Amino acid sequence: MKKYFLVSLALVMILSTFAMAASISTRAAADQPTILEFNTMTGVSRPYTGAANPIRNLSGGGLPWVIRFAQGELKANGKLEITIRGLVLDPKDPDVIARGIGGTNPSPTFMAIVSCLSKDTSGNPVTTNVSTAQFPTSKTGNAKIEASIQLPKPCIAPIIFITSPTGAWFAANGF
């Protein structure tokens, strides 16, 4: 009986230790400061389509895009979560109308790029763009992005772009 009690007590102590460690780890992740939180994004519009007027060294998609809904959050540890609904080619744009592709998303995947103003090893200002892996999207432009990225230090004035696999942006935080 005493042996059973001691084995049970040891097992409870071991399980309690694992539970406390998991709880501390979860709290530590939740305690990360939020760098950027947003409830809106804007689609790429003229004159930012194509390579003529890049933003933060990123060219816009070749045609205008619109977005119905987006929200996201970027934590100091690089955890990025974005929900996207209705990111599609602008159905009101004449070039999109002429091609008969308005209101659709031709890209099977999206990426997110976090663009920060930072500094190089000599202390000179630089723009640093960090991308996620590709995430699947629907023909109606819905996607969920959950990723962890390595942010530069410092990461000043971050902008989050939703891009094609080649890095042309379709939407950015803003309105």
pLDDT at 20: 44
Residues of the chain with pLDDT > 90, as a percent, come to: 81
Instruction: Give the pLDDT mean for 83-103.
Output: 97
C-alpha span between 173 and 13 (Å, rounded): 48
Query: What confidence category does residue 31 fall into, taking pLDDT thresholds of 50, 70 and 90?
Result: confident
Q: pLDDT tier at 9 (50, 70, 90 boundaries)?
A: very low
Would the pLDDT of 25 be above 90?
no
Average pLDDT, the chain: 88
Report the pLDDT value the prediction gives residue 84, as an integer from 0 to 100.
98
74 bridge partner residues: 36, 80
pTM for the whole thing? 0.82
Contact between 136 and 143 under an 8 Å Cβ cutoff? The reply is: yes
